Amino acid sequence: MDTIKISPGKNNVGAYINDINLNLLNKDLIEQIKNILKKFGVIFIKKQNIDSNAYQAFAESIGQLVEYPRLKGLENFPYINVLERKPTDKSLAFGGSWLHQDTSYLEKDRPRFTCLLGIEIPKGQGNTIFSSGFNAYKKLPDEIKQKIKNAKGIFSSAGPISKTRIELEKRAGIQSSKVMEAEHPIVQEVNGQKSLYVSPGHLIKIKDVIDADSDKIKKFLLDHVNKDEFIFSYEWSKGDLVLWDNLSIMHKASEIKNCTRIMHRITIK
């Protein structure tokens, strides 16, 4: 098979994979997709005409699927969660307001990848915002890289983003029994590249910073990953599939008002 063609996202965040059809998966195509994902952290595949069987088959080619208890699954496809925004919804969009890395508050078994498929897309609204931990780390001053080389972050389910989770749970009629916290290195080695892992929606504290005020370093890093030079606001079309690595890519939903938006989401170990 020929080498598939790619083009970079804005600010070199991720890569578009062009001219492929996910209904025609084969080992060579899967291998090329995985290699591009490893290098760029997030991939964008435009306007795929795939049903739930083909979507799930693609996700399974990437890794082990994970059930996500806080979102309803499709009938016969429990791993495909429905993210639906209705015109009457007034609350924040799920995962909105804060860049984050999914479930960074779990010590083990964090889902490695998140996959979204655009089912119903409102015109001019509902972009997903991405920030690359690879790019953010590369552009850190050397002095900061030294200070944080062994630093760890404490990530909490009660962090700033928790208001969107609480809203979701209300809709689903469930309530989290406890606050979950985990500790992870904030510099991660991902496929031979260093990435900044700070999940602003969940990070509550940084420890083991060398010769510096940890609160000041925390503020610096959160401001840093939110800089325009690291951000790509991805505009969806119906049938678009986006897949990202939660170790190297942060994301958030943008504001959505008075419209319907439906996405199908799969999380992957």
Q: How much is the average pLDDT of 243-250?
A: 97
Q: Does the pLDDT value for residue 85 go beyond 90?
A: no
pTM over the 0.95 mark:
no
Range of the domain at 158: 5-268
Summarize pLDDT for 187-235 with one digit per residue, the tens: 999 999 999 999 999 999 999 999 989 999 999 999 999 999 999 999 9
More confident residue, 151 or 96: 151
| Bridge partners for 241 per DSSP | 45, 117
Extract the runs of DSSP E, i.e. beta strands, from the chain.
5-8, 15-18, 42-45, 65-66, 73-74, 77-85, 113-120, 128-132, 152-156, 181-185, 187-190, 193-196, 203-207, 231-234, 241-245, 249-253, 261-268
pLDDT in tens, 225-238: 999 999 999 999 99
pLDDT in tens, 36-46: 999 999 999 99
**For 51-75, what is the mean pLDDT?**
90
Radius of gyration of the chain (CA): 18
- Going by pLDDT thresholds of 50, 70 and 90, the confidence category of residue 70 is low
Q: How many domains does the chain have?
A: 1
User: Do 183 and 107 touch, CB atoms closer than 8 A?
Assistant: yes
Both structure tokens of 180: 């979950």
| Ranges 4-8, 67-71, 125-129: which has the least confidence | 67-71
Q: Which residue has the higher pLDDT, 137 or 165?
A: 137
Q: What is the mean pLDDT of residues 231-252?
A: 97
CATH code: domain of residue 11: 3.60.130.10
